[in-house]
Amino acid sequence: MKEKLNTQPSLCMVAFFFDSGKIDNPFYGEVIFEYLIKGNELSNNISKVVVSEGDIFQREIYDDITPYIIKNELCTIKKLDEQCRDYIFVVLIEDISVNIAKKIDKRIKEECIAYLGMTSIDIDSTDVRKQFWKNLIRDYSIEGTTLTCFGYEETGFAYFEKAKEYGFQVNYDGFPNEMECENKLLLFSTRQSSFITRVKQLEMKKGRNDSDRGISEMNFSLVKEVEIAGVQIWKAIEDINRVYIPKKGNAIVVDYLFTSLYQAAQGIERLFKILIELMYYDDNSYDERKINELLLSHNHVGMYDFVNKKEKLSFGKNEKKFLECISRFYNEGRYNRFRYNEDNLMELKLLQDFGTDIKEGEFDDRVKHQYSKAIGHISHTLYDVISKISIKLNIYVYELNSDSVANFVLRKYYKDDLYEILKEIENSKRELLWYVLKKGKDFSITQAGEKIESLPFDYMDMQMFLKELICNTNSGELIYNFVSNEYDEQVAEDKDKWKERLKFIEIIGNTNVYLEEDEWSHKEDK
């Protein structure tokens, strides 16, 4: 005996969105009800449909309804070019056939200027925004030409006259609101659908939110991420400056190579993911599954391939090689030493391979320049595309604080070679120190601290101290150790005098402290 084929059309659960501000009637619910029933599609549905309705009160939805919709083949809602004029009114229908839903959607779209489109519902979603339907009023059912209102007859049905006008017989199930019934598990039978049968299904679920974000949320979140990415990348340049990189051998302290690669990999990954989010928001035709896969991965090469198909990134051989380097590091090298591995200096080998064409005698300096040029060009290029799409979407993801080092990394005003910028900053510090050495005796701070003797820094070690100050080598460990020992001696000798000294020292470089200008400040240099 052959198995009987199921000829019943597939049923779904969909929501129809309306901008109530575009309906010139304070009783817009009744107007929308008429649009819903006037084509008689619901009466021809193969089964009873359950209808819920109401306003969505979350303010952010007026700017952007993207987080509230399911972007699949049933979705007909497009990104809004303008804010909604007033509350968004939603009609939720359960157990409607896919074909009937499409017919209603097509008809209302042609008839009603307030209609925004249709989306399906994911009843298992834990995203609070995609659970908006649980806050709607479970209002009535339609089966053929019978409309059953959920509640008591004496309460009445708001759209009674309109329902009669279109040939519906209005009944009442005579049940109270099940949410108010203590210990009730199942919905009243009249209010059940094939999707929703239990009261618990109408309660908000707590769990992970999905990747869909509204335009405002994206703006305020991603603008922070852009700056964080820039700072991480700059830290990568600072750290690689702290270590000597040999072309051959392994006589090296690997710590700073690890942190440099780690910060670079994370910073560039962040820029890619920011850009992918913006691209997806700008063009919903991308595969959502692929987008989420990339956003949850650490695949720098994969992200580059995805973005490059649309934006044609100007990455050369050096940049592509660098992406392979950090992708390998992030996926293979981060936890390399937490298990047995013959390659205990993977970070060094990655950088040696990256600079394989550089001669041995000049390797350290040139590989750092090559490394930072790749990072700089990648960062500048991704930031430019981020800026372009942000401007198109009228958001400000590209904005940077003027005092953030992210500016060095991201703005094309600065050169690609970030290492060269760092060296120029070091040279600027040298110039400042030279000015202090030449003119220091004339400073107000010098005069204010005339009675405070300087610490006995060793003249022979001065160049090492200055290097540490300029290059921030080991975060100033040499200077710290010397001063710390001197302070210990001063405290032991005269603690009150040491406190007086500390009070003065803390004024140096403190911009919150005002020192009166003396005559010297108005003199021209001779």
88-103 confidence digits (pLDDT tens): 999 999 999 999 999 9
More confident residue, 404 or 442: 404
pLDDT over 90 for what percent of the chain?
Answer: 62
Mean pLDDT of the chain: 89
Across residues 185-212, what is the average pLDDT? Answer: 89
Give the pLDDT confidence of 488-497 residue by residue, as tens digits.
Answer: 999 999 999 9
Q: Is the pLDDT of residue 111 over 70?
A: yes
Q: Please determine, for residue 396, whether its predicted confidence score (pLDDT) is greater than 60.
A: yes
If pLDDT is split at 50, 70 and 90, which confidence band does 521 have? very low
Would you say residue 512 has pLDDT above 80? Answer: yes
pLDDT higher than threshold 70 for residue 517: no
Query: What local confidence, expressed as pLDDT, does residue 211 receive?
Result: 65
Q: Are the C-beta atoms of 118 and 101 separated by less than 8 Å?
A: yes
Buried/exposed code over 165-195 (b: 16+ C-beta within 10 A; e: otherwise): ebebebebbeeeebeeeeeeeebbebbbbee
pLDDT exceeds cutoff 90 at 516: no
The one-letter amino acid code at 492 reads: A
Lowest-pLDDT choice from 82-86, 335-339, 458-462, 517-521: 517-521
User: Is-contact 277 306, C-beta < 8 A?
Assistant: no
CA 192 to each of CA 38, 251, 301, 502: distance values in angstroms, whole numbers, following the listed order: 24, 73, 49, 76
CA–CA distance, 17 with 90 (Å, rounded to integer): 5
Average pLDDT of the residues in 502-513? 86
The pLDDT tens digits for 291-311 are: 888 888 889 999 999 999 999
Q: Which among 219-223, 234-238, 278-282 has the top mean pLDDT?
A: 234-238
Contacts 24+ apart (CB under 8 A), 190-193: 190/141, 190/148, 190/150, 191/50, 191/138, 191/141, 191/150, 192/50, 193/13, 193/48, 193/49, 193/50, 193/94, 193/95
pLDDT at residue 377 tops 50: yes
Task: Tell which residue, 295, 256, 257, has the closest CA to residue 278.
Answer: 295
Supply the DSSP string of 446-468, one letter for each residue.
HHHTTTSPPP---GGGHHHHHHH
**Whether 410 contacts 380, CB under 8 Å:** yes
> Would you tell me the crossing angle of helices 418-439 and 215-240 to the nearest 10 degrees?
70
- Asked if the model's pLDDT at residue 514 lies above 60, the reply is yes
Rounded to 5°, the CA angle 124-130-131 comes to 70
Within the chain, how many helices (H) and strands (E) appear? 16, 7
Q: What is the pLDDT of residue 508?
A: 85
Residue type (1 letter), 325? C
Residue 409 or 215, more confident: 409
pLDDT at 518 over 50: no
List pLDDT tens digits, range 4-58. Answer: 333 445 899 999 999 999 999 999 999 999 999 999 999 999 999 999 999 987 7
Residue 267 — pLDDT band, cuts 50, 70, 90?
Answer: very high
The rounded distance, in Å, linking the Cα atoms of 151 and 174 is 5
pLDDT at 134: 95
- Residue 6: its pLDDT value, please? 38
**pLDDT number for residue 376:** 96
Q: What is the pLDDT at residue 237?
A: 96
The length of the chain, given as a count of residues:
526
Residue 429, pLDDT above cutoff 50 = yes
pLDDT band at 3 (very low <50, low <70, confident <90, very high): very low
Interatomic CA distance for residues 301 and 326, integer angstroms: 9
Report pLDDT digits (tens) over 430-482.
Answer: 999 999 889 888 888 888 888 888 899 888 989 999 998 888 887 888 999 99
